[in-house]
Amino acid sequence: KAGVTQTPRYLIKTRGQQVTLSCSPISGHRSVSWYQQTPGQGLQFLFEYFSETQRNKGNFPGRFSGRQFSNSRSEMNVSTLELGDSALYLCASSVDGMNTEAFFGQGTRLTVV
Amino acid sequence: AQSVSQHNHHVILSEAASLELGCNYSYGGTVNLFWYVQYPGQHLQLLLKYFSGDPLVKGIKGFEAEFIKSKFSFNLRKPSVQWSDTAEYFCAVNTNAGKSTFGDGTTLTVKP
């Protein structure tokens, strides 16, 4: 079956702009989580969506937001980009987000210049 | 708040050496535990997981991990590493609240 698909794979944006990243989970998975991966901070949890509702949120500023659609696809939006937002953004899907393993996408590499 | 600590940031071993990567977590409730691996240029993939039952779990590629509840630990082991095990390894904790917390990762380099 198809894995987790993230688009686009690479993005270059300018400071102050906003960006939207997309994640298509594995069919049947209702939980989608987003993570930011940087060399210095490792994998940081952004938020998790389940059945179109944000169920958990990490410690990121309000510039980071997301949503989930009825088909479980999810988008993440970052407004007013800062240089420090440059990172690999990973999406993971699982059946329920709690007692089942997560499958990760390849990630979107965001570079802010 | 839950946290995960991986003690070794970078481990260098020769082929056939034994491996043990430490992972400790802090959370007072029920947890699900995972080890993920990220090979160079590839996405994160699951090595093994612990939900309940036998605290010694076996994963893919000869890896195993032991959950010691009293020590809040979930160390990863492999008796004999191969060059192809060179990768970054992440320990993760998922609480019943549905939130996963990852350790900072351990980079393993295996010399042929």
Please report, in tens digits, the pLDDT of each residue of chain A (113 residues total): 679 999 999 999 999 999 999 999 999 999 999 999 998 788 899 999 999 999 888 899 999 999 999 999 999 999 999 999 999 999 999 998 777 788 999 999 999 99
DSSP class of B71? G
Give how far A112 is from chain B: nearest CA, Å.
21
Mutate one of A9, A41, A98, A103 to test the B interface: name it (highest B CB count within 10 A).
A98
A35 touches chain B (CB under 8 A): yes
Closest CA to A21 of A95, A113, A94, A105: A105
For residue B97, report the phi and psi dihedrals to the nearest 5 degrees: -80, -5
Q: Do A90 and B44 touch (CB under 8 A)?
A: yes
Q: Do B32 and A33 touch (CB under 8 A)?
A: no
CB atoms within 10 A of CB B45: 15
Measured CA to CA in angstroms, residue B67 lies from A2, A38, A90, B49, B110 at distances of: 32, 28, 27, 10, 25
